[in-house]
Amino acid sequence: MKVTVDQNSGYCFGVEFAIQMAEDEMEQADKLYCLGDIVHNDMEVKRLNAQGLRIIDHEQLRELHDCKVLIRAHGEPPETYSIALKNNIELIDASCPVVLKLQNRVRHAFEKMNKKDGQVVIYGKKGHAEVIGLSGQTGNSAIIVTDESDLDKIDYTRPVSLFSQTTKSTQGFYDIKAKIENRFGDQSQVVAEECFDAHDSICRQVSNREPRMEKFAKEHDVVLFVSGKKSSNGKALYKVCKTHNDRSYFIENSSEVNPGWFLEDDSIGICGATSTPMWLMEDVARCIDETTKKSVENA
């Protein structure tokens, strides 16, 4: 039995940067507040909590004064910065540069759409931290669409500017784009120039992982995909694994490994989401090695 940890898996730049900023700050203080889970992985959140990172929500932020608060990679709406200024809160801004650039693009598109009675549409998960930050650039007037049923929210007699949450599926974005184009109906001849512009704003660090994940899944008999259940990126990448290798299993940590999934000569691949720390995937690998050794000793 051979176990391989995918070295292309693990944190994207934005998450790695945010965690490094948090750890650097906590070296100088016993406690640091973080607005929402710093990463969609409970194991990593617990590890950082032990170092002094305290997770708060937006209501708790309003009650804080004269302290430091970390903004995670997902970014925040303008309102958060206003509250911090009012309450003398020092923000440690770890917003991902890709997300900040997208926020700026959405804000400018909103200003442009306002001049011609248009709409900003965001393909993403409603309630997701990044989507909240993006919608905040439009005064929360953006239309959030997750699947085809949400497309009824759009007024097809008015212009549309479409963006995507950075961690969504590339294929999903282009499917939504095509469906919106089709709904313009008789106006299709002017869609590209006047009625509808679509911006592929998906992070390439994320989208490029899909073909790599497909290749990795095909190279192994069994795939263990390690991710937090809250991670939308994790759900999307696991779907890629499952599509190309039916013996793919979604787990959060080593305690969920089932020895019954493996055969003696299996090649086992361990991979994860952009929010999965490398140490967690390596822990799963160690668990499998230890289980294998015990089986041999008891044989």
Residue 130 designated active-site: yes
| Among 140-149, 178-187, 280-289, the least confident range | 178-187
Count of other CB atoms within 10 angstroms of residue 124: 26
Does the pLDDT value for residue 160 go beyond 90? yes
Q: If you average pLDDT over residues 210-236, what whole number do you get?
A: 92
- The pLDDT assigned to 232 comes to 78
With respect to CATH, is domain 13-96 assigned 3.40.50.11270?
yes
Nearest 5°: phi and psi at 270? -115, 125
Return the pLDDT at 298: 54
pLDDT value, residue 187: 55
What is the pLDDT at residue 264? 87
Tell me which H or E stretch contains 249.
strand 248-251
Helix/strand/coil (H, E, C) string of 218-248? Answer: HHCCEEEEECCCCCHHHHHHHHHHHHHCCCE
Looking at the chain, the whole-number percentage of residues with pLDDT higher than 90 is 76
Tell me the three state secondary structure of residue 154.
coil
Helix 13-26 vs helix 97-115: angle between axes, to the nearest 10 degrees? Answer: 120
Top pLDDT among 20 and 294 is at: 20
pLDDT of residue 208: 85
At 206 the pLDDT is 77
Please give the average per-residue pLDDT across 186-191, as a whole number: 52
What does the pLDDT read at residue 230? Answer: 83
CATH class of 98-202: alpha beta
Q: Is 121 helix (H, G, I), strand (E, B) or coil?
A: strand
The mean of the pLDDT values for the chain is 91
Residue ranges per structural domain of the chain: 2-9+206-298, 13-96, 98-202
pLDDT class of 296 with cuts at 50, 70, 90: very low
* Torsion (CA) 95, 98, 99, 101 in degrees, nearest 10: 110
Query: What is the pTM (predicted TM-score) of this model?
Result: 0.84
Select which of 130, 193, 210, 290 is catalytic.
Answer: 130
CA distance linking residue 31 with residue 28, whole number of Å: 9
Least reliable range by pLDDT among 38-42, 172-176, 256-260: 38-42
Mean pLDDT of 238-244: 95
- Return the DSSP state at 147: S
Q: What is the pLDDT of residue 171?
A: 87
Residue 91 predicted with pLDDT over 90 = yes
What sign results for the dihedral spanned by CA atoms 240, 246, 249, 250?
Answer: positive
User: Is the fold of 2-9+206-298 the same as that of 98-202?
Assistant: yes
| In the chain, alpha helices (H) | 13-26, 42-51, 58-63, 78-86, 97-115, 129-136, 170-183, 204-207, 209-219, 232-244, 278-298
Fold of 2-9+206-298: Cobalt-precorrin-4 Transmethylase; domain 1 (3.40.1010)
Tell whether the model's pLDDT for residue 134 goes beyond 90.
Answer: yes
Q: Which has more confidence, 30 or 102?
A: 102
Region 197-203 average pLDDT? 93
Compute the average pLDDT of residues 124-145. Answer: 96
Residue 201 tokens read as: 């704003």
| Per-position b or e across 256-266, b if 16+ CB within 10 A of its CB | ebeeebbeeee
Residue 193's pLDDT is: 54
74, 96 Cβ separation under 8 angstroms: yes
pLDDT at 185 over 80: no
The token duo for 50 is 């032990």
Lowest-confidence region among 163-167, 187-191, 251-255, 290-294 = 187-191
Most confidently predicted of 33-42, 244-253, 286-295: 244-253
pLDDT band (50, 70, 90) for residue 299: very low
| Confidence at residue 294, expressed as pLDDT on a 0 to 100 scale | 63
